[in-house]
């Protein structure tokens, strides 16, 4: 029998975070997101949850159909991570979430979403989360049964289940591995987000970052500075994902709006003139210089930088010199800048936070060493703490009823 336990959720979230951090999260760390930094968040974070292997994130596997048994096993992973202990294929059968027939045949989209509907009903009935009642919409090729109207309305409102074009569900179409991961990760994100918002907290929170994580102070400071007035934050912070140029532009624009300063859009557009989608370290350096020039033009200093891959004639050389003079170091320990590398959300938040603090746009944290390179030591300290807890967290996840 499945046992539902909401109190394990905090440990589950920390376990997810362990996977993310121990897998390479951190400021100025060149190994990012298991090589999936530019992949859709459902695949990247689905891999962290164990819904798919990193080596399976290729079109050949993703486009392959998935069997009922395989989909059930992934559903069990999600329910376990949400605090429904001891979920397995057999327990799903026992609780009527899935039937035991034709386990090894490909599952249809209709059958998959109905399994998710029953799983959602089970979690709501067992008080894992409070499911609101939201009007449901039918599809041209699928009329939602009355018994599933509530979970379908919830999943539709959270964009867990997204139909095909022209309001078709594609009910008889075979489900692919890609669609399975997308559906189930979105369900996990929706339910866990609702669970988080029902818990006492300090306001801003994410399902994949503990409230005491060092990055939260930086996020709060940026929020106070207006950084997210335009940019939209998801329930998952997804710090290892690469930030797109449009999001970084909106963040900078929000900061200028909140301060009442006029943003030089021409200069901003010049920085992103290549329009490659994701922001690079070179562009980040120029953005930070832009903020310094706009807010503290007479306070910034310059300090010589010595990177193997940067010449004095490069456009970012002056920017790096200014940042270095302000105690903001973007270089690696091997004296490389790697300007064409993509920038993660973790990088963006920490570097912007340091720059805003130097400019006096947000309050400075007590005892902050502005000469330290991008809080690298903070993340190393956090990794050591999490490593010591890793075995304990795994035991929580695999714990059986006595």
Lowest mean pLDDT among 124-128, 300-304, 356-360: 300-304
- pLDDT, position 32: 39
User: CA dihedral defined by 35, 37, 41, 47, rounded to 10 degrees?
Assistant: 20
Question: Which pLDDT belongs to residue 45?
Answer: 85
CB of 109 closer than 8 Å to CB of 69: no
* % of the chain beyond a pLDDT of 90: 42
**Beta-carbon neighbour count of residue 230 at 10 Å?**
16
In the predicted structure, residue 386 carries a pLDDT above the cut 50: no
| Confidence grade of residue 170 (pLDDT, cut at 50, 70, 90) | very high
pLDDT tens digits for 3-51? 555 444 444 444 444 444 333 333 333 333 446 666 788 888 888 888 9
As a whole number, the mean pLDDT across the chain is 80
Burial of 166 (0-12, 13-18, 19+ CB in 10 A): exposed
By the 10 Å C-beta count (0-12 exposed, 13-18 middle, 19+ buried), 262 is classed as exposed
Structure tokens at 124: 């709501």
Residue 276: predicted pLDDT: 67
394: confidence class by pLDDT, cuts 50, 70, 90 = very low
Rounded CA-CA distance 236/221 in Å is: 18
Q: What is the mean pLDDT of residues 130-154?
A: 95
Cα separation of 224 and 121, whole Å? 38
DSSP state of 8: G
CA distance linking residue 2 with residue 90, whole number of Å:
10
Residue 370 tokens read as: 């502005």
Which pLDDT score, from 0 to 100, does residue 287 have?
94
| Res 63 pLDDT > 80 | yes
Residue 145 CA to residue 212 CA, distance in Å, equals: 43
- Res 172: pLDDT: 95
Residue 364's pLDDT band, with cuts at 50, 70 and 90, is very low
pTM value is: 0.61
Question: pLDDT tens-digit profile of 179-235?
Answer: 999 999 999 999 988 887 666 555 667 777 777 788 888 998 998 999 988 887 777
């Amino acid at each position: 029998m499945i046992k539902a336990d909401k109190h394990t959720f905090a440990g589950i979230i920390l376990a997810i975070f362990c996977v993310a951090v121990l897998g390479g999260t951190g400021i100025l760390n060149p190994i990012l997101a298991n090589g999936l930094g530019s992949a859709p968040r459902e695949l990247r974070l689905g891999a962290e949850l164990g819904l798919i292997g990193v080596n399976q994130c290729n079109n050949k596997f993703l486009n392959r159909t998935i069997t009922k048994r395989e989909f059930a096993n992934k559903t069990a992973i999600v329910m376990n991570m949400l605090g429904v202990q001891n979920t397995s294929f057999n327990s799903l059968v026992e609780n009527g979430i899935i039937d035991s027939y034709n386990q090894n045949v490909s599952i249809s989209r209709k059958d998959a979403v109905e399994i998710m509907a029953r799983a959602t009903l089970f979690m709501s009935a067992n008080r894992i989360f409070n499911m609101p009642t939201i009007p449901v919409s039918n599809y041209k090729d699928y009329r939602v049964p009355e018994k599933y109207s509530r979970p379908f309305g919830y999943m539709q409102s959270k964009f867990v289940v997204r139909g095909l074009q022209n309001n078709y569900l594609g009910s008889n179409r075979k489900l692919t591995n890609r669609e399975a991961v997308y559906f189930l990760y979105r369900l996990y994100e929706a339910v866990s987000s609702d669970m988080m918002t029902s818990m006492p907290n300090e306001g801003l929170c994410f399902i994949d970052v503990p409230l005491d994580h060092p990055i939260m102070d930086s996020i709060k400071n940026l929020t106070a500075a207006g950084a997210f007035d335009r940019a939209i934050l998801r329930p998952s912070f997804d710090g290892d994902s690469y930030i797109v140029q449009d999001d970084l532009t909106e963040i900078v624009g929000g900061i200028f709006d909140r301060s009442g300063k006029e943003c030089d859009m021409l200069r901003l557009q010049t920085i992103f003139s290549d329009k490659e989608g994701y922001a690079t370290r070179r562009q980040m350096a120029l953005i930070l210089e832009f903020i310094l020039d706009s807010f503290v033009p007479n306070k910034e200093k310059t300090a010589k930088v010595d990177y193997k891959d940067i010449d004095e004639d490069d456009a970012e050389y002056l920017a790096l010199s200014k940042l270095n003079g302000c105690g903001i170091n973007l270089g690696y320990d091997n004296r490389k800048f790697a300007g064409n590398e993509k920038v993660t959300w973790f990088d963006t938040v920490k570097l912007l936070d340091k720059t805003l603090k130097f400019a006096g746009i947000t309050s400075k944290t007590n005892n902050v060493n502005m000469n330290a390179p991008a809080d690298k030591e903070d993340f190393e300290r956090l990794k050591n703490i999490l490593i010591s807890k890793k075995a304990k967290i795994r035991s929580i996840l695999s714990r059986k009823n006595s």
